[in-house]
Structure 1
């Protein structure tokens, strides 16, 4: 018998014994090498659910993960012990959305780490072989974990379609925002104006290429002489995120909303958005982006290691959730190592 981190409800995370289920045809067993604590995991922890995906019984979170193969996969050119990443989005492949190239919008998805489907904050996990993402030997477990959130950032920038040297406002400098910042740079965006209430995240945004950083959207208005930016990407957990993105946008501008607000509700004065005639898109998960994510990390165009601020063992995972939920200064991205106690030293 192994163990896992279970979420029982809002602010209730516990490590307890875990009986690994039997594998199904087409599944592969992985020893979990590392798993990231994502913003959506925090929403399950803080709110007890996200929209219709509610915690109705204890479940194991964790969808950003990498693992070591427990068996050979000769058809894939993979051997036992190889490190692989995993795309957690197990779409049905048959609905209109999947068939039109949008598996991230599949209403029949079985998403690893979203209730009721257990995730990877445990020692071993069965995953469908089709979700396995091969890696070159140069990748570390931490880098492999970060491919999933990087994929979310790539999808958001794909939706945004930044123009060459276009000025962009970035609202929110958490892990997804900081990855979006780097992908925007790689995509040829111009001056990036980034805001976040936490000073350590603003400092990191500046190191990763933001032209200016500030604590609130009011500073973006000041820097642009009240005009705003033609393109805004929002990656916060705030109910005010939509409002702030609108306030950062110029007349006729475009907005891509990536963040999930606490409480699953936005606050938005309608006139501000309507009178600007804005074009607004919502980002959800990602499409087929892993090859580009791997290339961006392998070539050094995106530095995922710079975002990793803390490391925890599985036994320490409840504390990791608590610290992130309380917005503890210094926290950016935490990685949990279910099988290696030596990794549980906070950075």
Structure 2
């Protein structure tokens, strides 16, 4: 018996006992080092679901996590005691999308930490061995946890295809936006104009490489003399995010939508997008990007640690959800430590 965070519905997070289920064939057991509180976790907390993924019964969130193996995983070259990351996306492998190499679009996916599948905000968890991601020596638990959101950022930039030295507008400087910013720079993008209403997030964006920051989309007009940016990436949780991305884009530009809007609905005047003849893509999760995520962190090209602003023990996790939902000052990225050690070291 161990404790876990359960989401019962909108604005209802509780800590309670959880009986660890039996392992299934092909699974391995992890002691959880740390778990990231993701924007999608927050949508489950604020809205009680995301689209058709609705909380019907209490479930344990947490899909950004790392842990220590309790047994050897020979097929991955990993040994008991190793710190590993986990790809939470368990695609079916046989549908048309999986066969085409788009496992992130699999309609039959079993995603760790999305209802009804319990996630890692608990002390120990069984995961399929094939989803284990071995790590290079010296990688910290924080870095290991942040590989999953970094993977989302890499996938978004892959979709965006920034041209060398191309100007980019980035809407939203939360964790995903700040990771996208750094991946854009690593990919050779030019001037990045980062927009966020919160001063502390704009300040961190400047430190991580943004050339211009603004509190709203009007700052993009000022920076581009009214022309707009040829490439816009949107990583907000605002229903107005799609609208603002359209308004930030130049005629004939490209827009990639990464964020999930509160209330699962966008507000958009259609004529503004149509008259610009914009090319619009939606990002969903990630492809096979963990090797590149590891290389970016290990090579010092992306700083994931500075994005983590708060650390919580398991009993404090309901407060973490509440503070993020309230947009409390200073919040960017929170990690939860289910086993009490806020450094995430091996118990």
TM-score if structure 2 supplies the norm length?
A: 0.98
Q: How far off its partner does 1:74 sit?
A: 2.8
2:156 corresponds to 1:156:
yes
Structure 2 partner of 1:75: 75
Structure 2 contact 97–103 (Cα < 8 Å) conserved: yes
Structure 2 partner of 1:241: 241
CA distance in 1, matches of 2:143, 2:91: 24
CA distance in 1, matches of 2:252, 2:315: 50
Q: How far off its partner does 1:342 sit?
A: 5.1
Structure 2 partner of 1:87: 87
Structure 1 partner of 2:10: 10
Number of corresponding residues? 344
Q: Give the alignment of 1:1-347 within 5 angstroms.
A: 1-341=1-341, 343=343
Q: How far off its partner does 1:341 sit?
A: 4.3
SS at match of 2:190: coil
Structure 1 contact 313–343 (Cα < 8 Å) conserved: no
CA distance in 2, matches of 1:190, 1:51: 35
Q: Any idea what the Cα deviations from partners look like across 1:49-86, whole Å, max 9, x if unmatched?
A: 00000000000000000000011123322111100000
TM-score if structure 1 supplies the norm length?
A: 0.98
The alignment yields a C-alpha RMSD, in angstroms, of 0.9
SS at match of 2:297: helix
Structure 2 unmatched ranges of 5 or more: none
CA distance in 2, matches of 1:324, 1:339: 22
Q: Any idea what the Cα deviations from partners look like across 1:217-251, whole Å, max 9, x if unmatched?
A: 01101111111000000000000000000000000
CA distance in 2, matches of 1:210, 1:324: 24
CA distance in 2, matches of 1:149, 1:192: 20
Q: Any idea what the Cα deviations from partners look like across 1:176-205, whole Å, max 9, x if unmatched?
A: 000000000000000000000100000000
CA distance in 1, matches of 2:113, 2:75: 27
Structure 2 contact 312–342 (Cα < 8 Å) conserved: no
Q: Any idea what the Cα deviations from partners look like across 1:105-146, whole Å, max 9, x if unmatched?
A: 000000000000000000000000000000012111110000
